[in-house]
Amino acid sequence: MTQQVPDGDKRLSRREISDAVGDLGWRYVLDVVRTSVAVASPARAVEVVARAVAVAGADGERSLEMDVRPGRVVLTLRSPVTGAVTPVEVELAGRISAVVAELGLNTGTDVGGREVRSVQVLEIAIDAIDIAAVRPFWKAVMGYHDEPGASGGEGALVDPVGQGPAIWFQRMTAPRAQRNRIHLDVSVPHDEAPHRIEAALAAGGVLLSDAEAPSFWVLADVEGNEACVTTWQGRD
């Protein structure tokens, strides 16, 4: 059964969020809850978007993000104030799932049972000794903005129209020769991580470290270019 969502403005733990939305077909990934609704036509996609917007109402005016693609609509919820997930977004997920079901569709289920990847969130991580010195370049060249709530000139950068991955900066204490300093963070639902790692290893990848698992695993291709598979677990 889906866990009861706490009332009020109480800060939810990552586990509370994941448990509350899991049975609704939504997944908790990197401070958002996200789902994918498979549709058979653009007209059907428009129906899903219209119903989601209507049922979300004022609560979802800024919390709800929608990405319409051929064959599916991706719906994301996060608080515009905290940049995280609050009881408001969890409650919205339930309302949206209900109206999607009224259309004969499902949140988190693919049409015809075709195999597709799970929802995910992609970030680019850049290692830097002097973050304040390199950050303005990436902000300018990408046309990005400061992440809401970022301070001190070292916070993450985000795409103002929500199309590209966020960029964050990881401080180095000394230069590291012969190692890439830009890597991808692929944040996936916690139970998707083992499958994603298995597939990467089967494709020739190498597991460099699982010391911080299940928060993240460090993998690399055969030439040493790194990527991290991350989950919400192990972070509370």
How confident is the model over 42-71, as pLDDT tens digits? 999 999 999 999 999 988 888 999 999 889
- For residue 212, the number of C-alpha atoms closer than 13 Å in the C-beta half-sphere is 12
Q: State the SS3 of 5-55.
A: CCCCCCCCCHHHHHHHHHCCCCEEECCEEEEEEECCCHHHHHHHHHHHHHH
φ/ψ of residue 33, rounded to 5: -110, 135
CB 39 within 8 A of CB 105: yes
Residue 4 counted as domain residue: no
Structure tokens at 60: 């979802």
pLDDT score recorded for residue 151: 64
Q: How far apart are CA 50 and CA 149, in angstroms?
A: 30
Cα–Cα distance list, 171 to 32, 125, 168, 194 (Å): 25, 10, 10, 28
Same domain, 188 and 97: no
Please state the separation of Cα 116 from the chain's center in Å.
Answer: 16
Same domain, 35 and 83: yes
CB 52 within 8 A of CB 99: yes
User: How many domains does the chain contain in total?
Assistant: 2
pLDDT score recorded for residue 193: 94
Q: What is the pTM of this model?
A: 0.85
Residue 235 counted as domain residue: no
Same domain, 126 and 69: no
Residue ranges in the chain modelled with pLDDT below 50? 1-8, 111-114
Same domain, 154 and 216: yes
pLDDT score recorded for residue 230: 96
Range of the domain at 100: 14-113
Q: Is the Cα dihedral 134, 136, 142, 148 positive or negative? A: positive
